[in-house]
Structure 1
Amino acid sequence: MVELRYHFHVRSGSYSRDEQGTHFATPLAALREGIETAGALIKDDFVSLSDGAEWVMTITDAAGLALFELQFVSRIRPAAAHNRGCANDRL
């Protein structure tokens, strides 16, 4: 089985382009890795996810064709800010 190269580009305020890429047997294997990686990255950087902040990972093939896009948008609702003492600009 031929493994293909997939790239994981991240936009979260700034843009991080994956120039090297990683080999996976199928697009779904690349998606699974993308979901796991996105979760870890968001968890490590949650403080920068202020109200309305958007975090996006685009998974492309070697030719640059976008195959998947994972989006995370934070929304702080008024009840959280009021009842939990959270400011709307940070958690």
Structure 2
Amino acid sequence: MPRYFFNVIDGTNLHDDEGTDLPDLETARCVAIRYAGALLEESGLRLRFGDTWHLEATDEARNVLFQLDFRVRPTP
């Protein structure tokens, strides 16, 4: 089973050194979205307008497979 790593890049980078064994890329996508949601819920009060961060999923060779991008911005 492939191992996926989920890294948060936000200025104080959080790198996943353990990874998670998952059956496929589609499952990794779902896990990444749930993880990002949990992070947003946890840090909702700290996020300010202009803040940006992303969560990247990599394989065991550390190749980026996909990325979720987040930006807090007011609407015009």
Instruction: Tell me the TM-score normalised to structure 2 length.
Output: 0.92
> Secondary structure at 1:38's aligned position in 2?
helix
Distance apart, 1:12 and its partner CA: 2.1
Structure 2 unpaired stretches of 5+: none
Give the total of aligned pairs: 76
Q: Matches of 1:59 and 1:4 in 2, distance apart?
A: 12
Larger radius of gyration: 1
Regions of 4+ moved over 2 Å: none
- CA-based RMSD of the aligned residues comes to 1.2
Task: Give aligned-pair identity as a percent.
Answer: 34
Q: Matches of 2:58 and 2:16 in 1, distance apart?
A: 10
Instruction: Tell me the TM-score normalised to structure 1 length.
Output: 0.78
Higher helix proportion (structure 1 or 2): 1
More contact order relative to length (CA 8 Å, sep ≥ 6) = 2
